Amino acid sequence: MQTTDKSAVDSQLFRQYQPGFGLPGAYYHDADVYAAEMERIWRPGWLFAGHTCEVAEPGDYFTFFMDTDPIVVIRDDERQVRAFHNVCTHRGTMLFQQREGRVGRAVVCPYHQWTFARHGDLLACRGMHEGVNKSELGLRPVAVETVAGMIFVSLANSPSDFAPAREVFASAGPHNFEGAKVAKALEYEIRANWKIVWENNRECYHCDANHPQYVKANFDTADAEQDSPEKRQAIAEVVAQHEARWAAAGVAVTHTKGGLARFPDPDNDIWFSASRTVQVDGYESESMDGRRVAPLLGKFTDPDVGVLRMRALPNFWNHTSCDHSVTTRLLPAGQRMTRARVIWLVDRQAREGADYQLEKLLPFWQLTSEQDWHLCEMVQRGVDSTAYSPGPLSKLWEYNVQAFIDWYLSKMSAI
């Protein structure tokens, strides 16, 4: 693993930062800063990898890169979800070449045909001398946790306790991601640093001007009336209309105000959260017209369950309506590149063309995502400029950007 001199990076990190303002430009393109982020945030942390329905049967797998580290997630013969470094323990060849697929009872290295079980043990290493200890040459495991149909991995040797996040993300249980399927997944290469993508996600200051379909459906917009008594009353009335019906469905309104839920909490190192919020009156789903675009997802018989929103630093957010779920996974790919995978889930029994149409399922979040990626790329081009100097953050609309920066700096300065 590449190592970065801590004192040199910390000196650069803290020398120019002014609280209440954005980060200096070097944070978004300096190679040493990026290398330090991989060591202090990405490899030690819990990362969203995918959904369990993507590896529904033994032998099913998917792969991804975390920076330079190729990772594979696979379901083994005992139906356990496992993750490994996608690296042969002989000469380092990548074992799984495709983004997803199904492998037979054994995994065979394409270089020298070393053979591994689906649970990672080395089964055969033809041509090697006697005395090679196969028990020491199995695939190198990656820590895995699953919760409510979601898979998280950590590249740390001793990962942090996942139990608090498990408790929070269990709120997705009623939507039954385990019984879902991927209706569509879109891959993006965003020409922007991963922090720019997160900073964009953490505020809706930009929403009125840039997300016309989103602001019609949701209260967390940045219009000038956001904190007016009239707006608060309108939200309170919608919440009151739905609380009793939600309780009957076993869920509750947990975000009852306009504006984005506050996240993260740098003071308590809270890197995960979930909240359920109402939509604008008349909307049942996050779709272009507010109507359902697929059969109900999970145990629900009433579509009136609002939108469950989940998020986890550094790479995951999700919006789940009554009928479908949309997950975004981020992965760093250099100082000025972030890979995003946006995944739409629907009920496993739903039939494309009969029960749902992609042209109705996709646009709401496809448009919102692509609008954001364009904005992020414009920001990256601007912060690369020698003329860039951070401006002040809005205390009214960018409180979560400040919280993200505080969380980020706390992680980068931790020993």
Residue 124, beta-bridge partner list: 115
pLDDT at 51 over 80: yes
Count other Cβ atoms within 10 Å, centred on residue 38.
19
Q: In the prediction, which pLDDT does 415 show?
A: 44
Q: What is the mean pLDDT of the chain?
A: 92
Closest CA to 313 of 175, 193, 142, 194: 194
The values of phi and psi at residue 325, to 5°, are -130, 140
Q: In the prediction, which pLDDT does 236 show?
A: 79
pLDDT at 8 over 90: no
Residue type, position 344, single letter: W
Q: What ranges do the domains of the chain cover?
A: 46-159, 164-413
Measured CA distances, 60 to 68, 105, 116, 122 (Å): 23, 11, 15, 19
pLDDT band at 230 (very low <50, low <70, confident <90, very high): confident
For 46-159, which CATH class?
mainly beta
pLDDT at 3 over 80: no
Q: In the prediction, which pLDDT does 65 show?
A: 98
Helix 363-383 crosses helix 194-201 at what angle (to 10 degrees)? 130
The arithmetic mean of pLDDT across residues 4-18, rounded, is 65
User: pLDDT for 278-313, tens place per residue?
Assistant: 888 889 999 999 999 999 999 899 999 999 999 999
Measured CA distances, 326 to 59, 341, 369, 380 (Å): 25, 10, 11, 26
Q: In the prediction, which pLDDT does 224 show?
A: 46
Q: What angle do CA 265, 266, 268 make, to 5 degrees?
A: 75
Buried b (16+ CB within 10 A) or exposed e, 316-350: bbbbbbbbbbbbbbbbbbebbebbbbbbbbbbeeb
User: pLDDT for 216-225, tens place per residue?
Assistant: 998 766 544 4
Count other Cβ atoms within 10 Å, centred on residue 68.
11
pLDDT band at 5 (very low <50, low <70, confident <90, very high): low
* Matching CATH number, 164-413, of 3.90.380.10, 3.40.718.10, 3.40.50.300, 3.40.1370.10: 3.90.380.10
User: pLDDT for 54-107, tens place per residue?
Assistant: 999 999 999 999 999 999 999 999 999 999 999 999 999 999 999 999 999 999
The model carries a pTM of 0.94
Tell me whether domains 46-159 and 164-413 share a fold: no
